[in-house]
Amino acid sequence: MEENHLECNSVVDGNVEDVPDKKVIKFNPPLYRQRYEFVKNLVAQHEPKKVADLGCGDVFLLRMLKYQKCLEELVGVDINEEKFKWHGCKLSACVGDHLYPRELDLIITLYQGSVLEKDCRLVGFDMVTCIELIEHFDSEDLAKFPEVVFGYMSPAMIVISTPNSDFNSLFPYSDFRDLDHKFEWSRMEFQTWALDVANRYNYSVEFTGVGEPPSGAEDVGYCTQIGIFHRKAQATEPDISEQQGQHVYQVAYTTSYPSLQQIKYRRRVVVYETYREVHRMRRKYKMGLTWCELEADPEDSDNPRRKFTSDLPSPQPLKEAEKSTEMTPKPFCIGDKFYVPLERIIAYPKVKHLCGNVEELRALIADAVELNCSGSAVQVDLDHYADC
């Protein structure tokens, strides 16, 4: 299980009294935060879709990762179900997630169970993290760990962090950093174990860490040592057919996030973006009436069709979004109604990204936005109550 933040801070980052010969080392940000930031940066760099955190504890890492746009599935596994009861709800979607939906679907699931058990729902992930986990295993469990994680789960990337005992000489105590630790490895011991595991399961590994030592003590290395394992290319992907049906973990919590892949949220965002662009153009048109001449449409003297201000030379350089609309039909006004062709609206990059074509745009907004009789343009009042 992940070490408790308060315990970690009290031992590694906290205050220690009556120690005259050694200074207390404080990390800023706290060491646990540096570890999680390291993983978050790896996710941002490699853009995995599916990430599992083994020994997820208080789910703090999952809470940080849920904002990564690339993710579609987040899983946490821990043997301590009590932590899920207290912290699982922190993973739920908030009001802001509904107002500004994600681009991709995201499902978060917490499983109660031992990370040393094989469950087929953990097979095939892009990244598996084990942050301050392995030092809690006795020798028998440590021997089982590689077969489950590297052999059975076989993710594309595995991140393992563990205390660096070489750094412990700088602390004002000689015991392990946590009472539950069964061992703490030196850099040589960790690298020997990691290279052996990587060789057995066809992975490469690189070493780094977080928690830099103070000036003059660089030879002890990072406070936390980290191994990053990458599965080597294989002729065929691991066969998981024989692993189907092995569900040994208990689902302790699950939630899903609103996304633009879900039609109701995409429709709402498209309607909002459409109204925003239409009223922006309407306001621009009305501002132009104070200094632009009105040109009557010679074919219809009863309903003057006024020129949109973007038809006139502009002294200001066009923005990128405006450049994309230059070749599309211009907005126009007939009587007290202002019209914006759908072809104009969909030329704006964000609307184009959400819809793809005019037909899809029309279908998404038809029930919420007033269209002209031909369904080719959005129609609004030229004088809007919001202008008052």
CA atoms within 13 A on the CB side of 290: 4
pLDDT of 324 above 80: no
The reported pLDDT for the residue numbered 162 is 98
State the amino acid at position 272 in one-letter form. Answer: Y
pLDDT digits (tens, 9 = 90+) for 179-194: 889 999 999 999 999 9
User: Which one has a higher pLDDT value, 378 or 19?
Assistant: 378
pLDDT of 323 above 80: no
**Extents of the domains making up the chain:** 31-257, 263-292+320-381
Overall pTM surpassing 0.85 (yes/no)? no
Mean predicted lDDT score pLDDT of the chain: 85
CA torsion through residues 44, 48, 50, 53, sign: negative
pLDDT of 311 above 70: no
Query: Alpha carbon of 40 to those of 34, 153, 209: distances in Å?
Result: 10, 21, 14
The reported pLDDT for the residue numbered 175 is 80
Task: Indicate the CATH number of 31-257 among 2.40.50.100, 3.40.50.150, 3.40.50.2300, 3.80.30.20.
Answer: 3.40.50.150
pLDDT of 310 above 90: no
User: Which one has a higher pLDDT value, 340 or 296?
Assistant: 340
Share of the chain above pLDDT 90, in %: 68
CB 186 within 8 A of CB 166: yes
Q: How confident is the model at residue 177 (pLDDT cuts 50, 70, 90)?
A: confident
Q: Percentage helix, strand, coil, to 5, in the chain?
A: 40, 20, 40
**What value does the mean pLDDT take over residues 162-168?**
94
- Crossing angle for the helix pair 263-288 and 358-365, nearest 10 degrees? 100
pLDDT of 290 above 70: no
The reported pLDDT for the residue numbered 233 is 85
**What value does the mean pLDDT take over residues 7-34?**
63
Q: How confident is the model at residue 296 (pLDDT cuts 50, 70, 90)?
A: very low
Q: How confident is the model at residue 243 (pLDDT cuts 50, 70, 90)?
A: low
The reported pLDDT for the residue numbered 81 is 82
CB 141 within 8 A of CB 68: no
Share of the chain above pLDDT 70, in %: 80
**What value does the mean pLDDT take over residues 150-176?**
91
Angle 271-272-276 from CA coordinates, rounded to 5° = 115
The reported pLDDT for the residue numbered 286 is 83
The reported pLDDT for the residue numbered 17 is 38
Task: Indicate the CATH number of 263-292+320-381 among 1.10.101, 1.20.1280, 1.10.10, 3.40.50.
Answer: 1.10.10
pLDDT digits (tens, 9 = 90+) for 39-90: 999 999 999 999 999 999 999 999 999 999 999 999 999 998 888 877 888 8
pLDDT of 306 above 90: no
